[in-house]
Amino acid sequence: MGVLIDWISQPETAGGQLLVAMPGVGDVGKLAIDAVNCELDAEPIARLCHASLPPLAKLNEDGLLAPPHILLSRIEVDGKKVFTLTGDAQPMSPEGQHEMAIAILELFEGGEVLVLAGMTAPADRKEVFSICSSAKYRIVLESRGVLVSRDEPKAGVIGMAALITAFGPVHNVDSSCTIATTVGSSADPVAAQRLLETIRKWWSLPLPIPIDATARLAAKLKQLHPQKAEDHIASMQESPDSIYM
């Protein structure tokens, strides 16, 4: 089975700009896109379904059972239409991830796809950098002031973040993956904020940026663990044993 696209509305996507994030290290990219979707009242465009998505159907905001899917939405940023794509999970098989990635790239042929992700790093390392799969596009990015890495992540990239970025040039898509470092042991809204600030600057996209992320994180942790909020925050600052996506 390939990807089933359940269109809610069907705008032209070819040549468009897409921001993508899946759950991953620190959920950095997903937190960033979820925040943008919420702040800009994203309009749902299509549900992308695949048999290898976890078989969990959830009730939506209308109380209706929705199939497992990744949601394509549309937002307006300073008068410009931009698309976002995220979900609670990505396909669980390599074949499913490959088919989903190719389906996404085919929708945005001739356009630009920005993948947002996190990378595990020591707590004192707070960096954002991009990687891409085309020397020609790398020159374009660097001319905009984008910091494009040539030697990290050393361990490589996995999952749909890897496939969407790597196969972009094959499908006539300018694809990149912009990565924020994070401790990665818990959801990291601070790194998500740093990632959004950088995307805003490098791509001249006036995206809304959540403020007081650290305070909100502390408040949430205190709600979940009233006696141990400080301990949980400290645990997010421990150095990791490895680097991965």
The SS3 call for residue 196 is helix
Q: What DSSP string runs through 89-113?
A: ---SSHHHHHHHHHHHHHHTTTSEE
Q: Is residue 1 part of a domain?
A: no
pLDDT (0 to 100) of residue 228: 42
CA 70, CA 157: separation in Å to the nearest integer? 20
- How many domains, in total, are found in the chain? 1
Q: Note whether residue 244 is domain-resident.
A: no
For residue 81, the model assigns a pLDDT of: 95
Q: What is the CATH number of the domain that holds 128?
A: 3.40.50.10900
pLDDT for 33: 94
Q: What pLDDT shows up at residue 204?
A: 94
41 located within any domain:
yes
| pTM of the model as a whole | 0.85
Q: What is the pLDDT along the chain (245 residues), one digit of tens a residue?
A: 699 999 999 899 999 999 999 998 889 999 999 999 999 999 999 999 999 999 999 998 899 999 999 999 999 998 999 999 999 999 999 999 999 999 999 999 999 999 999 999 998 899 999 999 999 999 999 999 999 999 999 888 999 999 999 999 999 999 999 999 998 778 888 899 999 999 999 999 998 876 554 445 445 545 655 554 444 444 433 433 333 35
Q: Is residue 98 part of a domain?
A: yes
Domain that holds residue 144: 7-235
Structure tokens at 13: 């996507």
In angstroms, the Cα distances linking 18 to 12, 44, 87, 125, 128 are: 12, 14, 14, 28, 19
pLDDT in the model for residue 184: 76
How far apart (Å, rounded) are the C-alpha atoms in residues 179 and 233?
22
Q: Residue 124 falls within a domain, yes or no?
A: yes
Alpha helices in the chain (DSSP H): 28-39, 94-107, 135-143, 159-167, 189-202, 213-224, 229-235
Residue whose entry in the numeric block shows the structure tokens 């020397």 = 135
Assigned domain for 242 exists: no
Q: Could you tell me if residue 31 is inside a domain?
A: yes
**Would residue 240 count as lying in a domain?**
no
**Do 135 and 199 form a contact (C-beta atoms < 8 A)?**
no
Taking a C-beta distance cutoff of 8 angstroms, is the pair 172, 109 a contact? Answer: yes
